[in-house]
Amino acid sequence: MPTLSLPELQVLLQALSAFAIAGSLIYTAVQFRKQRRVQYVANFTKLVEMQMHLREMRVREPNLAEVYPRDLVWAAGLTGETRERGIRLYYFNLMQLSVYEMVWFSWQQGQIGDDYFESWQMRMHEIVAEESFKMMWNSPAMKFMHDDFARHIQQMVETCPGSKAKSEK
């Protein structure tokens, strides 16, 4: 077995050190990227939670929905308890949609597994079939959500048995 001279040993150790540093920099970059994605999902989730809280306030106090009268076009002609119940159902469905949007976005970003997402999606197919959900979805009222998520839900509504959903949201 050949022996290395001192200069050759120094070059070998420097090369190994350089590879170790390069490897640790690549590892650090990958970790930063993963952390950024986790933070991205956390920020998105927080924004949706804030929107959901505003919806929850309208479920508890239906008269708060009057702040944006154009959002209540669908409720024209409803009065008293029927109107309050309609508002509660409308915003409750939006709250459910918000929770699903967080699940969908987390799945899109690789933060939750396919099996968990598929269980949520299966349940959402049942919810989408409900008349109160269809009424909410088809109303012309403003709905804050990710555009890709809105397309996902629109497709779900259109493929729901017995759906008479509008073709565009």
- What's residue 162's pLDDT? 59
Q: C-alpha angle with apex 79: 77 to 85, nearest 5 degrees? A: 110
Other beta carbons less than 10 A from residue 125's beta carbon? 14
State yes or no: pLDDT of 46 exceeds 60: yes
Handedness of CA 59, 61, 67, 73 (dihedral sign): positive
State yes or no: pLDDT of 10 exceeds 60: yes
Q: Mean pLDDT over all residues of the chain?
A: 91
**What is the average pLDDT across 111-124?**
95
Report yes or no: 124 and 156 within 8 Å, Cβ to Cβ.
Answer: yes
State yes or no: pLDDT of 166 exceeds 50: no
State yes or no: pLDDT of 168 exceeds 60: no
State yes or no: pLDDT of 169 exceeds 50: no
Nearest to 49 by CA among 103, 90, 7: 103
Which of 16-20, 140-144, 146-150, 155-159 shows the lowest mean pLDDT across its residues? Answer: 140-144
For residues 99 and 94, give the distance between their C-alpha atoms in angstroms, rounded to a whole number: 9
- What's residue 165's pLDDT? 46
> pLDDT tens digit string along 85-97?
999 999 999 999 9
For residues 132 and 87, give the distance between their C-alpha atoms in angstroms, rounded to a whole number: 10
Helix residue ranges per DSSP H, the chain: 6-60, 80-108, 114-128, 131-138, 147-159
DSSP structure class, residue 2: P
pLDDT grade, residue 49 (50/70/90)?
very high
pLDDT: is 164 or 158 the higher one?
A: 158
- What's residue 150's pLDDT? 96
Percent of the chain residues topping a pLDDT of 70: 95
State yes or no: pLDDT of 128 exceeds 80: yes
- What's residue 20's pLDDT? 94
For residues 116 and 11, give the distance between their C-alpha atoms in angstroms, rounded to a whole number: 52
Tally the C-alpha atoms within 13 A of residue 36's C-alpha that lie toward its C-beta.
6
For residues 143 and 141, give the distance between their C-alpha atoms in angstroms, rounded to a whole number: 6
Q: C-alpha angle with apex 102: 50 to 35, nearest 5 degrees? A: 95
